[in-house]
Amino acid sequence: MTEFFDSLETRDPAAREAALLAALPAQIAHARAAAPAFADILAHVDPAQVTSRAALAQLPVTRKHELLERQKAQRAMDPLGGFSTLRFGPAMPRVFASPGPIYEPEGTARDQWRTARALYAAGFRAGELIHNCFSYHFVPAGAMMESGAHALGCTVFPGGTGQTEQQVQAMAELRPAGYVGTPSFLKIILEKAAEMQVPLLSVRKALVSGEAFPPSLRDWLTARGIAAYQCYATADLGLIAYETSAREGLVLDEGVIVEIVRPGTGEPLPEGEVGELVVTTLNPAYPLIRFGTGDLSAILPGTCPTGRTNTRIRGWLGRADQTTKVRGMFVHPGQVADVVRRFPQVLRARLVVSGEMGNDQMVLKVETRETAAGLAQLLSETMREVTKLRCEVEMLPPGSLPNDGIVIEDARSYR
């Protein structure tokens, strides 16, 4: 029994990169031709020229709030906002809703969201029963995991959420090999089973997602004989990355191109720097090009000890949208990036908002190797020009600011 889902996982990294970049121009051309939103967003892009990461980085980032705005504006004509290449009917078996609401289409491809790879890495194999406790209502989470399980050759019990005692009863009687759902709900089920004095001896593995999975909870499950692994997926993109038995970061899925960009911009960051995850998917039904997830992460150096050769990320490290209201006006990470872009002497910057509510103070902390006279004054004046707010500047040596992806830190007292 092989440890790998398929041969794609152990490809030479250069061969993988070449294959992804070779598929990129056709996907961009397809998005422009079949998805009206991208016909607009990429109107001035020549798909044939987008054959490198540098060329990809020149394309605009479409963030979730922009997708929602387009959907809302086109509700009467196209509730999917022109982002889907499918229309209602046999080619789109279901449509889902996420908070917003954002509506997402489901295509007919086998393993539409590519979750079989994550399930396999978590230890699930063909012929097993999976107890699926992701929601089957409105959101696609339940269907995402079910389609992957079916592609893997597994049977699924659609447990959904809630009804804890019935979940325990079904697990005890059907004896599934493992659980899929949020880690906190698995803990609730196990605690209820202990309270009911019902042993759930068959459940020995789990794939969890949808919320933080701290080491303390992982260890709690391990102590009860359950090896739980996490994956990172979204309703828009499907699987992005998954954990392996090495437990050293999350390995990227084979069907996505991932960039880490400076929050508020589309500028790629060097390996190791924390920034926003921007994903381009090769899904023909929902061809999202440079889709900003709003989540922070960073690229890990090296490859996975299991032998999987794709890039690894650190996992979810917080939210990239750090928009903050200061003295009644919104300040965006993109504005800070705009200021920094004008001064090549600045290596990194962080805007700290402090004081009590109603008495806000802004300090732009910048790392620089130069102490040119007047630089702080110029930065302060530029911040006022861009944000329309007064701002002090603090000059720091390189390496002073933490590598956590935070561009705007709200340090105000809300008591």
Domain ranges of the chain: 13-319, 324-410
Reduce the DSSP state of residue 328 to 3 states and report it.
Answer: coil
Residue of 115, 131, 116, 244 whose CA lies nearest to 190: 131
Mean pLDDT of 113-118: 98
Which has the minimum average pLDDT: 12-26, 191-205, 220-234, 318-332? 318-332
Say if residues 226 and 297 touch (Cβ distance below 8 Å). no
333 or 44, greater pLDDT = 44
The pTM of this model reads 0.86
CATH class of the structural domain 324-410? alpha beta
Q: Would the pLDDT of 26 be above 80?
A: yes
Q: What pLDDT was estimated at residue 1?
A: 43
Residue 209's identity, in one-letter code, is S
* Residue 414 pLDDT class (50, 70, 90 cuts): low
Q: Would the pLDDT of 125 be above 70?
A: yes
Q: Residue 116: phi, psi to the nearest 5?
A: -60, -35
Q: Would the pLDDT of 316 be above 90?
A: no
Say if residues 362 and 326 touch (Cβ distance below 8 Å). yes
Q: What number of residues does the chain have?
A: 415
**How, if at all, do strands 129-132 and 178-181 pair?**
parallel
CB-facing half-sphere around the CA of 34: CA atoms within 13 A? 17
Burial 369-404 (b: 16+ CB within 10 A, else e): eeeeeebbeebbebbeebbebebebebeeeeebeee
Q: What pLDDT was estimated at residue 65?
A: 86
Q: Between 1.10.287.610, 3.40.50.12780, 3.20.20.70, 3.30.450.90, what CATH number should domain 13-319 receive?
A: 3.40.50.12780
Helices (H) and strands (E) counted in the chain, each on its own, are 11, 21
Mean pLDDT of 393-398: 92
The pLDDT tens digits of the residues spanning 197-218 come to 999 999 999 999 988 898 999 9
Beta-carbon count within 10 A of 181 CB: 25
The pLDDT tens digits of the residues spanning 154-211 come to 999 999 999 999 999 999 999 999 999 999 999 999 999 999 999 999 999 999 998 8
- State what percent of residues in the chain have pLDDT above 90: 80
Reduce the DSSP state of residue 346 to 3 states and report it.
Answer: strand
Say if residues 164 and 187 touch (Cβ distance below 8 Å). no
